[in-house]
Amino acid sequence: MMIADQNLVKKMNKRRLLQEVIHHSPISRANLSKTTGLNKSTVSAQIQELVDEKFIFEIGQGQSSGGRRPVMLMFNKQAGYAIGVDIGVGDMIVLLTDLDGSIVSEHYFDLNQSSPDETIELLLKTIQQVIDKMPGSPYGLIGIGICVPGLVNRSEQIVLTPNSHWDNIELKKIVEDAFQVPVTIENEANAGAYGENIYGAAKAYNNFIYVSVSTGIGLGLVLDNELYKGIHGFSGEMGHMTIDFNGPKCNCGNRGCWELYASEKAFRQSLPAAWNDAEIEARYKQNDVELFTALENFGHYLGIGLVNITNTFDPEAIILRNPLIESNPFVLNAVKNTLSSRMNIRFEAECAFLPSSLGKNAPALGACSMMIGRFINGLTT
Ligand SMILES: [Zn+2]
């Protein structure tokens, strides 16, 4: 065998062993040999490298059927940290997680009509503060994942943000230059889908659609366990599918787009202007007819688009990300009523409709997990 091939095999084995320890800690060397099919001397040599590199550490002793009790191996999830950022239309979330995706610190900002320049200044300042307070670790900050509500191309450039103004801002370069760590820019719905798949409501699914409902509507498509991005990276813009071909004009250039009816913005515009969050909450508690009619319509309009999506993709699950839907089964029930009245029963019975379990942190956690995945893969490639 050529030396280059031997090195490749060695790296692949090492990656496989690390993944096994990440997903099955605590585990003994003997069990690793059994689950991977690698011989004991290979396991021993590769694990020693991973211990020396501080990705794995040894703990006490596990159970054994007799004889010497084995030393158990643990993934060192504090070997490094990732930052995930979700820049929304009106707010921003900055999370620091360990390599297991557990949140170490979280920061929430109301962007209050801030310009992108002001937001970038706040972002850079916040990241620096997070780094300054980050616990000590062998690898420090391993990367920064940032998501935005708009089109991001395959080169991670922001091409179009219809509801904010980030078009053509070189955010990746700005953040890379400031912190000298790997930075990725991702569409918000793609990052949210990724987060729910790794840590949240979509853990058990290989084919699912994540629907982010806020100022607009964005979709993250996970098909056969892969995030489907399209040729240019622009897939999932189903907020702009036509629901009414004679409908009002949308910022995107189309007419009667789904998000003009079923976004949270559209729902809020359907309420009397004087109703603020406190008023809505009070009316919710009083079972106010006008509010519940508006919630029913919101769920109905969501359902109309979801019929199209379910018919197109035949997914195992649809995960809905919106605080009203997560806190309020009424909207999801209205969605399901529309689906069951308009769909073949076969689909309805086989597709799960679930609220997001990560809530507002889903995209920022997804951005962290993208960086963690790249870091772990990069170690052994
Ligand atoms: Zn549109």
Whole-number Å distance between alpha carbons of 115 and 120? 9
Same domain, 208 and 329: yes
Same domain, 176 and 321: no
Same domain, 214 and 347: yes
**Distance (Å) from CA 261 to ligand 1 centroid:** 11
**Distance (Å) from CA 236 to ligand 1 centroid:** 13
**Distance (Å) from CA 240 to ligand 1 centroid:** 4
CA-based end-to-end distance of the chain: 19
Parts of the chain with a pLDDT under 70: 1-4, 61-68, 345-349, 380-381
CATH number, domain of 351, equals 3.30.420.40
Task: Tell which phi-psi region holds residue 140, choosing left (phi > 0), alpha (psi between -120 and 50) or beta.
Answer: left
Query: Do 260 and 248 meet the contact criterion of CB atoms below 8 Å apart?
Result: yes
Same domain, 321 and 369: no
Q: For residue 199, what pLDDT is reported?
A: 93
DSSP label of 38:
-
Residues in the chain: 381
Long-range contacts: 59-68, Cβ < 8 Å, 24+?
59/26, 62/26, 62/28
Same domain, 143 and 27: no
CATH number, domain of 64, equals 1.10.10.10
Same domain, 165 and 22: no
**Distance (Å) from CA 167 to ligand 1 centroid:** 17
**Distance (Å) from CA 252 to ligand 1 centroid:** 4
**Distance (Å) from CA 310 to ligand 1 centroid:** 20
Whole-number Å distance between alpha carbons of 124 and 168? 18
**Distance (Å) from CA 277 to ligand 1 centroid:** 26
Domain end among 52, 75, 98:
75
Domain end among 75, 106, 131:
75
**Distance (Å) from CA 286 to ligand 1 centroid:** 35
Q: For residue 194, what pLDDT is reported?
A: 96
Pairing outcome for strands 56-61 and 91-98: unpaired
* SS3 of residue 114 by DSSP: coil
Q: For residue 164, what pLDDT is reported?
A: 80
**Distance (Å) from CA 248 to ligand 1 centroid:** 10
Same domain, 239 and 324: yes
Amino acid at 267: F
Which pair of tokens denotes residue 275? 């109703």
Give the residues across from 183 on adjacent strands.
144
Torsion sign across C-alpha atoms 241, 197, 266, 270: positive
Domain end among 75, 100, 125:
75
Q: For residue 11, what pLDDT is reported?
A: 86
Same domain, 216 and 346: yes
**Distance (Å) from CA 353 to ligand 1 centroid:** 24
CB atoms within 10 A of CB 324: 20
**Distance (Å) from CA 150 to ligand 1 centroid:** 12
**Distance (Å) from CA 31 to ligand 1 centroid:** 54
Q: For residue 44, what pLDDT is reported?
A: 92
Same domain, 168 and 205: no
Same domain, 329 and 284: yes
Task: Tell which phi-psi region holds residue 67, choosing left (phi > 0), alpha (psi between -120 and 50) or beta.
Answer: left
Same domain, 234 and 270: yes
Same domain, 52 and 91: no
Q: How many domains does the chain have?
A: 3
**Distance (Å) from CA 206 to ligand 1 centroid:** 29
Domain range for 50 is 3-75
